[in-house]
Amino acid sequence: MATNAGATANTQNIYQMGNVGVGTTTPEARLHVVDTITTDATRSNILSQLALNQTGNITTSKRAVTGFLDILSTSTANYDNSGNPAAGSFVYRNSGTGNVNYSSGILQRSEINNGATQNTAYGFHNTLFANGAGNISLGLTTQRNQLSIIGNQPLGTGVLSIHDVRSGSTLGNYKGFDVMRNDLNLGTITNFYGYHVHAQAANEATNAWAFYNDAAIPSYFKGYVGIGTTTPGRPLEIERATTVGPNSGIMLTEYVGAVGDKGAQINLRSSRGSKGGEQPLQNGDVIASYLFDYYSPTGFTNGDGSKIMSNYLGDGTNRRNDLRFFTTASTTAAEKMRLDPDGNLGIGTGSPTNKLHVTNPTAGAVRIVDGTQQTGRVLTSDANGVGTWQALSMGNKTAVVHFSGTQSIANTSVVGATASKENLTGSIISNDIGAGVSASSGNLNLQAGKYMIFITHDVDAGEYCIFQVKRNDGTTLYQTYYGEMLNTSFLVDMPSDGFISFHTLGLTGTLNPSPTYYLQASDYTNVPINNHVTVLKLN
């Protein structure tokens, strides 16, 4: 079949066996095309020089061409580093004849290699590149790794997406990657949030790697994470060979922006239940602990070193917790100090009942060395509660009161009569005790406490009397007999604020040992009385 009248060479021919040839007069298959088959120019023109051989496989003509798709009719071993691809495998060939210069496609896998030489990385539409070593790149002409992907969009839009083929929804856009150097011609990158980046790629001078992120993009690591160790046994384990210089340990720096900001924090939290189903702690549950572990001749202490622990002490509906401090003196950590929920500090006791509660099996549990300590001194508080060591002194705890006046004194010649209260006027001569001592209507007013009272008492005559001291509750605290003048002392215990009063009874008749010397009954009427009282506060 000729397309031009008088043509000497047919361009289309139907062979007697029914084969059709396009561009050949000797078709070898039902359709044998010797020329380029080009698709619509607006689409791709990936395939070229295709033909069907007598076995029904796509092949090329016998003349040398480059860059075409072939389906093997038989297994062959003439592929570099590929084993024996089976019949039906797709390959891209470099040569039109023979099983030579094929790419490294094996079995039913396809491989691209339209370069002139085996094992040379060239491209397919300048998008997908591969070489004989098995390295593949998308969007990058240099295969640095087994798989290298460079997107043609800004990093923030993602370079790898995974979709659910059943629902069509996006399972995730993956933007993270490793940037090893800044010589990859990445263009202008405004941020590296979400990326594992070498500092050179971020135009930083330091030679280090970093995960760039911000508060809106949390980082999540599942399983155990090791820093400096390849065998972490905890959710986070950090190991360093040396701790030389100021760069050892862990540092947390928080830049406070305003008054009231909390600054750097380490938050240890505990809950019963599970995530999403949290339940309150119960009394005795351990909230958190700081363990100070170290290596000993028997190995690491594994929690038997010093530690700080907080226990929950509520009922599940309130908030009560303590702080417990442990140290190790032998082989096991033991609690040495506790701060309870009410602010009581116990040293040597786990049940403190005061703001400072010290328990020790031997004497000398407390030592205060502030420069005022000396042998024989006592710890003394001032008005503000500040304690210092001071010599025992009465001068700063005394008061002097003088009672005086004229009144009649009860007198009796029989045992058991009632003494008269001395309703004398009292005046303060001196007072270093303070508001705890005053005088009114013959009473000496005292605050709660213990006192030593010194008395010089006299009736302006040759009296022979019984002298009594009574407390405001009616209790007789002291009683004595005296003649002419009384000098005595006694202890007064005031369980609460109150007063003491002074009572006198004149003895006459047979109770008077010397009626010719001491006053008779008629002599105790309207007599002058003086009572000089010195008060020493003992506590």
Listed residue (366, 447, 444) closest to 400, CA to CA: 444
Alpha-carbon gap, residue 433 to 496, rounded angstroms: 16
| Angstrom distance (rounded) from CA 371 to CA 378 | 13
Structure tokens at 491: 């202890």
CB proximity list for 466: less than 8 A, separation 6 or greater: 419, 479, 480, 481, 504, 505, 507
For the entire predicted model, the pTM comes to 0.46
Q: What is the pLDDT of residue 217?
A: 60
Q: Enumerate the domain spans of the chain.
A: 170-238, 274-344, 398-537
- Distance from C-alpha of 117 to C-alpha of 134, rounded to nearest angstrom: 15
pLDDT in tens, the chain (539 residues): 554 545 455 455 555 557 888 878 888 777 777 776 554 434 433 333 444 444 444 544 443 444 555 666 665 555 444 445 556 555 555 544 444 334 433 333 334 444 433 333 333 444 566 666 667 776 665 655 666 666 554 444 445 544 444 444 444 443 334 444 333 334 444 455 555 555 555 555 555 555 655 556 666 677 888 888 888 888 888 888 776 666 677 888 888 888 878 888 889 999 999 999 999 999 999 999 998 888 888 888 777 788 999 999 999 999 999 999 999 888 788 999 999 999 999 999 999 999 999 999 999 899 999 999 998 888 988 888 899 998 776 556 899 999 999 999 898 888 888 999 999 999 999 998 888 899 988 999 999 999 999 999 999 888 888 999 999 999 999 999 998 899 999 999 999 999 999 999 988 888 887 877 777 877 888 999 999 999 998 87
Residue 530 burial class via C-beta count within 10 angstroms: exposed 0-12, middle 13-18, buried 19 and up: middle
In words, the CATH class of domain 398-537 is mainly beta
Asked if 417 contacts 503 with a C-beta cutoff of 8 angstroms, the reply is no
DSSP state of 418: P
User: Measured between alpha carbons, how far is 130 from 132 in angstroms, rounded to an integer?
Assistant: 7
Residue type, 324: R
